Amino acid sequence: MAGKISIIGAGVGGLSLAARLASRGYEIDIYERLPECGGRAHIIRDKGFVFDTGPSFVLMPEFFGEVFSYCQQDIKDYLNLKVLDTSYKIFYTDGKVLTVYKDSEKTKQELERLEPGASRGYDKFLKEIGQMYFAVKPLLYKPFYRRDILNPKYWPLLPKLKIFQSYWKIAKKFFKSERLCYAFTFEAMFIGVSPFVSPAFYSIITYVDHKEKIYHPLGGMYEIPKALEKIALKFGARINYNFEIEKILQNDDRFILKSKQGDIDSEKVAVNADYSYSQESLLKRPLRQLDYSCSVYLLYLGLKRKVSGLAHHNLFFSSDLRRNLKEIFDSGDIPLDPSFYVHVPTVTDPGLAPEGKSIAYILVPIPNLEKSQGINESEEERLRKIIFSKVKLSTGIDLEDLIEVEHKFFPDDFISRYNIKNAATFGLAHTFSQSAFFRPYNNDQTFKGLYYVGASTQPGGGLPTVIASSKIVADMITGEAKKP
Residues 31 and 257: beta-carbon distance below 8 Å: yes
Residue 411 has pLDDT above 90, yes or no: yes
Question: What confidence tens digit (pLDDT) does each residue in 107-123 have?
Answer: 999 999 999 999 999 99
What distances in angstroms separate CA 481 from CA 135, 136, 153, 435, one per listed residue? 20, 18, 17, 20
Residue 234 has pLDDT above 50, yes or no: yes
What is the SS3 assignment for 123?
A: helix
Q: Which residues pair with 433 in a beta bridge?
A: none
Kindly give the pairing relationship between strand 81-83 and strand 215-217.
antiparallel
Question: What confidence tens digit (pLDDT) does each residue in 113-169 have?
Answer: 999 999 999 999 999 999 999 999 988 999 999 888 888 888 888 778 888 899 999
Question: What confidence tens digit (pLDDT) does each residue in 43-95 have?
Answer: 999 999 999 999 999 999 999 999 999 999 999 999 999 999 999 999 999 99
Residues 444 and 279: beta-carbon distance below 8 Å: no
Task: Could you please state the CATH topology (level 3) that the domain comprising 5-42+58-75+219-291+427-478 is classified under.
Answer: FAD/NAD(P)-binding domain (3.50.50)
User: Per DSSP, which regions of 305-393 are E strands?
Assistant: 313-316, 340-343, 358-366
475: nearest Cα among 142, 101, 75: 142
Q: Which residues pair with 420 in a beta bridge?
A: none
Question: What confidence tens digit (pLDDT) does each residue in 425-480 have?
Answer: 999 999 999 998 999 999 999 999 999 999 999 999 999 999 999 999 999 999 98
Q: Please, which pLDDT band fits residue 1 given cuts at 50, 70 and 90? A: very low
**What's the whole-number mean pLDDT along residues 175-195?**
93
Q: What is the pLDDT of residue 484?
A: 44
Residue 36 has pLDDT above 90, yes or no: yes
What is the SS3 assignment for 329?
A: helix
Residue 483 has pLDDT above 50, yes or no: no
User: At 360, phi and psi to the nearest 5?
Assistant: -130, 120
Question: What confidence tens digit (pLDDT) does each residue in 361-385 have?
Answer: 999 999 999 999 999 999 999 999 9
Spacing of C-alpha 63 from chain mean position: 14
Q: Which residues pair with 249 in a beta bridge?
A: 256
In this structure, how many other beta carbons lie within 10 angstroms of the beta carbon of residue 69?
A: 12
User: At 117, phi and psi to the nearest 5?
Assistant: 95, -10
Cα–Cα distance measured from residue 28 to residue 229, given in angstroms and rounded to the nearest whole number:
12
Cα–Cα distance measured from residue 320 to residue 352, given in angstroms and rounded to the nearest whole number:
34
Q: What is the pLDDT of residue 482?
A: 60
